[in-house]
Structure 1
């Protein structure tokens, strides 16, 4: 069931289902290894890379057969590549390829997969020639042994390799990946191929590929959402049937017992039934809102932050104004002016909080809005520098990600203002075919990483996870604060 859910993109549901299977594992380590590997795949697809590596390592330890150990270990190498830890991936892949069992007949396809990932890691690590040779050899092996599905990954890697060297060859490989994945009905790989074709900036073809991408992506989301609802209904119907069978057995028992015992059983049944109804209602609500869990958490954290800001910054001042008004004679001009000044100050801070959390303009004025927001933190003692913001084609970025970027920058500014005491803040935007990269640096007082203030940082992490991005923090006492943010396009 968990494997079927993964095929249909329901990775949260897959984790929940396969965790239930652990209750039935006795002594067979192969069963536990398979479960751990499924958990690793789910976390990898959800971008929880450290958790994925943890499960893959446990799966490798559980497998007794050396050939089966290769699967989770090669999966770890793939995660390292996703994390851009290319040196780690190269060391692990070369270690796996040195094993004698890969030289045995029948292991050619598995060896080709490892070679392709090794070549891609070398290419990403700056060793283009060596990486290209390994990726090319892997593709030839896959073609020779009719590993059609595996060839898709080879074509995608080669398309990425050629992207900055030979656009025509990059397109050729991306189209090969697109056509093969279309024949095999592999939607995720088709989307990856279209992303490469779009990023190659064809004047005549771009609109066609963009339209295909959005049509295919919308269709995929709809199909997967329908699957999740259908799966939840099947589980619900099965549980309902089981509950009805329990009810029938209880009714039969009531007819055989005395009136007193029957009354007792009815009471017990009513309690059980109410509990089951509540439980089923919770389950239905859970499945409906599962995909919005991260967004809800982000919204909750934002509301909590606003509430704390209002309490910390305004509540005491309002109380003091009330006390002032009650204790002073307001007919005196100086007293009246003093009261009005206090109220005006509170009003100004309310407007500031409102402005921090109001609706963000994601249209043509998006960059101007970002610059205006960041400029409010400029002072005579603090300089905010922004670079490359206008170099990114924001029209291709969806509104949700624009809002996320704006809110993250706002959180960084608030964090800096409250805790850093920085004199200089540099925010640098970078652009690659798949992601928007934001490098934040300040020369504030910093702190030990284990003692960092977590509330604002957790809120940022939740926002970034909601759009499948990543964020890494670096800080040391008296050495400032740095953050590296990557958001997929």
Structure 2
């Protein structure tokens, strides 16, 4: 949550150094460089990125390595800030080739550059590299404020990698040094309290978290408030769900004021977890839309910077070509060369995009096949085995031949999984359902059926019958495993062009925080495949009621 704030500070420190360099080189002014800073400070990263690229080219012509490094480091920080972490790392690594660790005048750029490498690594969950880069940033820091900033970043990386003891050592050190600056003191105090709680769940961080929250409210520190609401909500998540919900709502409102999409997503995750229906569904819908928008925006940013790089290189190539025009013949040669070069570049980009597209399709196909196979294994093998187990358990006299027949049938079906075969032609479907339901009856579980007639299923196609079989089997397996029910009933009826199935039991029902695992998730997917609906309702007295409806095809 504080990463954007830290990047802004990093840019500010870099600006101070750039101003010093400008004073030293007034005789060799670089208008592109000045314009780049103007755009950057005006929150126009696209334009700033373009002009830093132009300024870099001018510095290259003058063989000014420090100027080139300045432009590359700024461009790297812009890329990282816009979510292009790999691009930011690439530019920072390029900047290192123009910096000399033996020269003190390069130190400001070195520490800012290593800090950017660390932040990009941390965003990519590569905490070990992040910590190494923060150490290098500290090594080349030229003032105390920079050191404190990088130490705080390093502590955050330790916290992200769950090395809480190491994080706590740094936070305690920062608390002693930053005790006079209120917002900084609140940030460090909040981090210490939360880290102590992460280290020891019996520790109560609320007094310190509340103190930090009060300071941030008085100082109107909106970014700090976001962090406080997040920490307090996380603490209450395992102590008081209502309080966790309250602070998650505060976090969402504050994140909206800041226009921070990432923090809104964090808040919505909490609200989804602690809210009851229908609010939970609304929050989930908002989360999906925002997550999709954020991903799209970041992808556009990456593509935009790639295009800017390409256009910059194209412009430079065209300029060089025009400068070499001494005759008509030379001009023609240059044009042909330029066109060929551009064709190759476009062809290369097209080839790379096509390869990426093919790779994405292949990965998507593999994932879909894996999910499909997993679903079939669950329905055919897992639930089938459980059904056989139930029948064996409930039979007084074991019919060995019949059991072997069932296991052989399951074996054949499991072999068919790899060939993507499904048996869709179900004859005498009402008998199939009767046999399925009866296989779960026992001395302790009584199951009744009403309305399951041959006429009911005459107009229902085989594919829908197939899905209904697996849906009811999943309900029965969950009933036998989890419900502790002794009375179960199924009611089948037709309303106009729709069939309705009502399941009831007198078991323990569903808790508010119940999570749908693979089985019930597959059930929901199957209902969607047949354009149906399913609702779960825990009865007031005891038990569970599930209603399923679907159109007749």
TM over 0.5: yes
- Which of 151, 156, 168 pairs up with 2:225? 151
How big is the shift at 1:71?
1.3
Correspondence 1:359 to 2:370: yes
* Structure 2 Cα separation of the partners of residues 271 and 397 of structure 1: 62
Q: Is the 8 A contact 1:156 1:193 kept in 2?
A: yes
- Which of 190, 208, 212 pairs up with 1:134? 208
Structure 1 counterpart of 2:173:
95
How big is the shift at 1:282?
4.0
Correspondence 1:28 to 2:106: yes
* Structure 1 Cα separation of the partners of residues 93 and 354 of structure 2: 20
Aligned residues: 319
* Structure 1 Cα separation of the partners of residues 130 and 123 of structure 2: 9
1:187-229 C-alpha deviation (Å, 9 max, x unpaired): 0000001111112252342111111111111111122222222
1:19-56 C-alpha deviation (Å, 9 max, x unpaired): 33334435321111111111111111111111111111
Structure 2 counterpart of 1:191:
265
> In structure 2, do the counterparts of structure 1 residues 279 and 59 end up closer, same or farther at CA, with 3 Å as the change threshold?
farther
> In structure 2, do the counterparts of structure 1 residues 88 and 289 end up closer, same or farther at CA, with 3 Å as the change threshold?
farther
Q: Using structure 2 for the length normalisation, give the TM-score.
A: 0.50
Correspondence 1:7 to 2:71: no
Q: Is the 8 A contact 1:236 1:280 kept in 2?
A: no
Structure 1 counterpart of 2:317:
243
How big is the shift at 1:58?
0.7
How big is the shift at 1:368?
5.8
* Structure 2 Cα separation of the partners of residues 204 and 268 of structure 1: 66
SS in 2 for 1:141: helix
* Structure 1 Cα separation of the partners of residues 119 and 218 of structure 2: 28
SS in 2 for 1:9: coil
How big is the shift at 1:172?
1.2
- Where in structure 2 are there 5+ consecutive unaligned residues? 1-74, 384-480, 483-513, 523-553
* Structure 2 Cα separation of the partners of residues 56 and 94 of structure 1: 18
- Which of 66, 77, 95 pairs up with 2:155? 77
Once superposed, what is the RMSD of the aligned Cα atoms?
4.0
* Structure 1 Cα separation of the partners of residues 373 and 234 of structure 2: 30
SS in 2 for 1:28: helix
Q: Which has the larger radius of gyration?
A: 2
- Which of 111, 130, 135 pairs up with 1:52? 130
SS in 2 for 1:198: helix
* Structure 2 Cα separation of the partners of residues 181 and 397 of structure 1: 34
- Where in structure 1 are there 5+ consecutive unaligned residues? 304-355, 373-388, 400-489
- Which of 39, 63, 68 pairs up with 2:117? 39
Q: How does 1:329-340 map to 2 (within 5 A)?
A: none
Structure 1 counterpart of 2:145:
67
SS in 2 for 1:63: coil
Structure 2 counterpart of 1:446:
none
* Structure 2 Cα separation of the partners of residues 205 and 362 of structure 1: 34
* Structure 1 Cα separation of the partners of residues 212 and 89 of structure 2: 32
* Structure 1 Cα separation of the partners of residues 519 and 249 of structure 2: 22
How big is the shift at 1:182?
0.5
Correspondence 1:123 to 2:201: no
Structure 1 counterpart of 2:164:
86
* Structure 2 Cα separation of the partners of residues 96 and 30 of structure 1: 22
